[in-house]
């Protein structure tokens, strides 16, 4: 007896499989965490506390770290499908191509969110930034930005994986599209950390939400075309 999986079920199956692979190997996650912590350390030692206040520096550092450590996870996303041509089996399965994209994106969002969950307290520790009352909205902003970054990054990861210069091509393609997301996220973060009224952060948050929506929809639609040979 068979009942073909719907979009959400198929996406969850793909995401669960990707997370199981990452849980077993842990290579990309540990790489991303080590990268994030090393990045924070280097910024810390390069920082002149008498010239720039921690509260002014922290948002920029945080989003540079999030962006580049997220790329490490995105590189791996379609890399696992390349070995032994597992992608062929995935594409031959009776699921919508969009489900593959959404499943990959979901696994990537959880990956990036995991890196953020460790990096954020590390930043507070290194730069003595009080997260106290803003940690929840800050986590929300980080998660929203992760959605946008992953939406674009997953699409470009699929495009780049078949090329010889995949590791170079993915950042080159994706980073320009990350700019509006990272800008909005960094501006919102700066206002939250500075204890500014929520109304000041709202316009940036709306931009972030808008880009998330546009990128998720556009990339899900574009994804099937990236798979055609």
Partner 1 sequence: MTGRRDDGQVFALSGGVTSQYFSRMPSAAPSSAIAVPPVVEAVGLARAFGGRRAVDGVDLSIMPGECLALFGPNGAGKTTLLRLLAGLLAPTSGTCRVGGLALKTGRAVRAEVGLISHASMLYGALTARENVEFAARMYGVRDAAGAARRALGQMRVADRAEAPVRALSRGLQQRVSIARAIVHEPRLLLCDEPYTGLDESGSAALTAALAERRAHGAALLLVTHNLGEGLALATHAAIMRRGRLVRHEERSALDPAAYASAYRELVTTDA
Number of residues that bind partner 1 (CB under 8 A): 28
Closer residue to partner 1, CB minimum distance, 80 or 151: 80
For residue 182, the Cα-to-chain-centroid distance in whole angstroms is 11
Please answer whether residues 54 and 125 qualify as being in contact, where contact means their C-beta atoms are separated by less than 8 angstroms: no
CB count in 10 Å sphere of residue 89 = 10
Give the three-state DSSP class for 88. Answer: helix
Take residue 165 and report the two structure tokens written for it.
């210069």
Interacting span for partner 1 (CB under 8 A) from 9-17, 150-158, 181-189, 215-223: 9-17
Binding status of residue 169 toward partner 1 by CB under 8 A: no
Binding status of residue 213 toward partner 1 by CB under 8 A: no
Closer residue to partner 1, CB minimum distance, 48 or 84: 84
Quote the CA–CA distance of 104 and 123 in Å, as a whole number: 28
Q: List the x/- string, 106-145, binding to partner 1 by CB under 8 A.
A: ----------------------------------------
Interacting span for partner 1 (CB under 8 A) from 2-10, 36-44, 107-115, 144-152: 2-10
Among 19, 21, 64, 166, indicate the residue that binds partner 1 (CB under 8 A): 21
Quote the CA–CA distance of 109 and 148 in Å, as a whole number: 9
Take residue 205 and report the two structure tokens written for it.
């948050």
Closer residue to partner 1, CB minimum distance, 93 or 209: 93
Shortest spacing between CB 16 and partner 1, in angstroms: 9
Binding status of residue 199 toward partner 1 by CB under 8 A: no
Shortest spacing between CB 108 and partner 1, in angstroms: 17
Distances (CA, A) of 215 to 154, 155, 161, 167, 222: 11, 10, 20, 22, 10
Please answer whether residues 93 and 2 qualify as being in contact, where contact means their C-beta atoms are separated by less than 8 angstroms: no
Shortest spacing between CB 37 and partner 1, in angstroms: 25
Burial 191-209 (b: 16+ CB within 10 A, else e): bbbeeeeeeebeebbebbe
Binding status of residue 7 toward partner 1 by CB under 8 A: no
Residue with tokens 């390069």: 46
Take residue 119 and report the two structure tokens written for it.
């990096």
CB count in 10 Å sphere of residue 188 = 28
Segment 42 to 101, residues that bind partner 1, using CB under 8 A: 80, 83-86, 88-96
Segment 22 to 41, residues that bind partner 1, using CB under 8 A: 24-25
Binding status of residue 164 toward partner 1 by CB under 8 A: no
Residues that bind partner 1 (CB under 8 A): 1-5, 10, 13, 17, 20-21, 24-25, 80, 83-86, 88-96, 228-229
């Amino acid at each position: 007896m068979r009942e073909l999986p719907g979009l959400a079920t198929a996406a969850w199956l793909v995401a669960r499989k990707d997370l199981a692979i990452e849980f077993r190997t842990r290579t990309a996650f540990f790489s991303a965490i080590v990268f994030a912590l090393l990045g924070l350390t280097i910024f810390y030692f390069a920082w002149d506390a008498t010239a720039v206040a921690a509260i002014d520096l922290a948002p920029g550092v945080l989003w540079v770290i999030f962006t580049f450590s997220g790329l490490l996870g995105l590189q791996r996303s379609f890399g696992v499908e390349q070995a032994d041509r597992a992608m062929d089996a995935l594409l031959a399965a009776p699921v919508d191509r969009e489900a593959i994209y959404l499943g990959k994106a979901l696994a990537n969002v959880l990956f990036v969110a995991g890196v953020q969950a460790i990096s954020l307290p590390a930043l507070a520790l290194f730069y003595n930034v009080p997260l106290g009352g803003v940690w929840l909205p800050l986590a929300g902003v980080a998660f929203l930005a992760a959605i946008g970054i992953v939406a674009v990054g997953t699409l470009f990861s699929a495009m780049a994986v078949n090329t010889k210069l995949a590791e170079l091509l993915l950042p080159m393609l994706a980073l320009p599209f990350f700019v509006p997301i990272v800008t909005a996220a960094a501006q919102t973060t700066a206002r939250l950390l500075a204890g500014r009224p929520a109304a000041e952060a709202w316009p940036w948050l709306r931009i972030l939400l808008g880009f998330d929506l546009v990128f998720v929809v556009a990339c899900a639609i574009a994804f099937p075309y990236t798979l055609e040979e």
